Structure 1
Amino acid sequence: MQLGTVDRRDDRPPFRQIADQLRAAIERGELRPGDRLPSEATLIQHYGVARMTVRQAIQELRTEGRVVAEHGRGVFVQQPAPVRRLASDRFLRRHRDAGQAAFLAEADKSGVRPRVDQIEVTKTAPPADVRERLRLADDEPVVVRSRRYLADDRPVETAVSYLPLRIADGTAITEVNTGPGGIYARLEEAGHELGHFVEEVTARMPTTDERRRLELADGVPVLVVVRTAFDTGGQPLEVCDTVKAAPAYVLEYDIPAR
């Protein structure tokens, strides 16, 4: 890799010029995922700058999620998360009929190996916003299903589903393993035919716990998708709050023009 120089006439501070050059080398493929960046000493000597300047440049790349520091080994180009394209057809009944929950259908389309872990199932009172979305009485409990999704063994998403206990009780929804087709297949087996879904998408920085569970580098944002599932009569059946590693997803919506 050919390193450039710091132009003292440039309005950009030296650390940003160094970060820009290293970023460009990554984008050109001169530094590939898993490659180690030149050491601090090498960068200091080459650019003729202070150690703090080099560290600021590296921190900028870490904040962007492009590199990761490994204690005692150096700074390495980050392996990109598997990109999974979220298509608007992932909740079609044909996937449930084939025994695929939405995540498995997405993974199959994206060509990644799916896995689910950290599954927890509880019965409790829901948060106020979930109670409102599900149109529940003040004292009505819900089944809460929390889990983490991995693609090619990389964590890409956490999800928490809330379902009224009166609907989920007595079904495999209250079990760790919901069986083929997942939650939605079990709902339809219980006589609740799915009619439509509403998704609300926002973006933010992750909490400390979310960063840990999704193994995110500093500065990497998340997508938050809150989905409400309705039956054919318009009754809400489930609220699912998902937190997705932003670099791992492309949201794709096929919207009819008429």
Structure 2
Amino acid sequence: MTTASDIRNVGFIGLGVMGASMARHILKAGYTLHVYTRTASKAASLVADGAIWHDAVASMAKACEVIITMVGYPKDVEEIYLGQDGLIAHAKEGAHLIDMTTSSPLLAQRIFDAAAAKGLHAIDAPVSGGDVGAREARLSIMIGGESADVQAVHSLLSLMGSNIVHQGQAGAGQHTKMCNQIAIASNMMGVCEALAYAEKAGLNPESVLKSIESGAAGSWSLSNLGPRIIAGNLEPGFYIKHFIKDMGIALESAKEMNLDTPGLALARQLYRQLAEKGYEDKGTQALIHYYTRS
């Protein structure tokens, strides 16, 4: 098994809103950073600062002791890990594979089993905290996998997050992220409804936020996205299209467990309406437009 002291070369696949900041923390810590993304321009800044660009997943796999993925959808994860030209087919024996994408718990289990059969160590480690948490290395990281594997990469994960919790076996990290997304889904409806109500009542939204964010109504979404809503800033810390994907995974997983989640179902319905109106590439705070109809 690769140990923490053996890790020199770290691969990072997926340099989006959060991934680029996460990868930069690794580069700044002195690791040799290898990057791959389907849009080469997204890697330009990191390459200019010393990262090594790869034009294929397989070539990166052969060069790194640890590879981290932070991509969009479960289908992307499946292709990157389980495809003929993917990580499991080409990674060094003993390498650690860390999927930080929000993906399917069942897929995480499949990846773990396939990796173990090849002498590799896979963990699922989705994150929460958005673009701000990624920039400030304050992400919450939820982990599923073997304890020894988590320990081997803990120092690397600590470069990106401040709340790192091993939740259980393979898939447990993804299940925990589903809990996170379920909580956010209904909370975002509450945040937007509260601010829409404040506006209709003729109140100053900033003053209302000052009163309610430190009380029983307080939440990360209220404190961090509430000001963006008031400022009319819809730029994504997390894309609506990805949130819809996450809610779909959560609804499917809940159905498999015979659990009814009406709040989650309603939130997805509202976000789908926004996506149909062209907001899919905006941040989750754009839900305010359901209530203002603008």
> What TM-score do the two structures reach when normalised by structure 1?
0.28
Higher helix share: 2
Tell which structure's C-alpha radius of gyration is larger.
1
Q: Which has the higher contact order (CA 8 A, sep 6+)?
A: 1
